[in-house]
Amino acid sequence: DQQVKQNSPSLSVQEGRISILNCDYTNSMFDYFLWYKKYPAEGPTFLISISSIKDKNEDGRFTVFLNKSAKHLSLHIVPSQPGDSAVYFCAASVEYGNKLVFGAGTILRVKS
């Protein structure tokens, strides 16, 4: 069963504009949500996270929004840069981070 879903396989954005990556989940017991960025043939890099008791967390150009009633979270990147082009994975935590459940990923392409 896919507890974490990223329904958009890919997204193309112009440099300088906003990138919005979306993620839906089904398990209301998830206690933490994370976003990772991955380049080909490399391990994922942690970007930003949010506790289930918050609705927004911001770190520089990256902001994550959580809508618990809709079981939806999103990652906003503003402004988008060509170096942001990568695969972005949404992940949800159970047992306080002891287990992460990952979405299938969204390929972001930022065009210059």
Residue whose token pair is 């979306």 = 22
Among 43, 60, 70, 112, interactor with other proteins by CB under 8 A: 43
User: Contact, 78 vs 64, CB < 8 A?
Assistant: no
Residue whose token pair is 């939806």 = 72
Q: How far apart are CA 15 and CA 29, in angstroms?
A: 37
Site membership for other proteins, residue 49 (CB under 8 A): yes
We find the least distance from the C-beta atom of residue 17 to other proteins, in angstroms, to be: 26
Site membership for other proteins, residue 64 (CB under 8 A): no
Site membership for other proteins, residue 1 (CB under 8 A): no
Site membership for other proteins, residue 8 (CB under 8 A): no
Which positions touch other proteins (CB under 8 A)? 4, 6, 31-32, 34, 36, 41-46, 49, 51, 89, 91, 93, 96-105
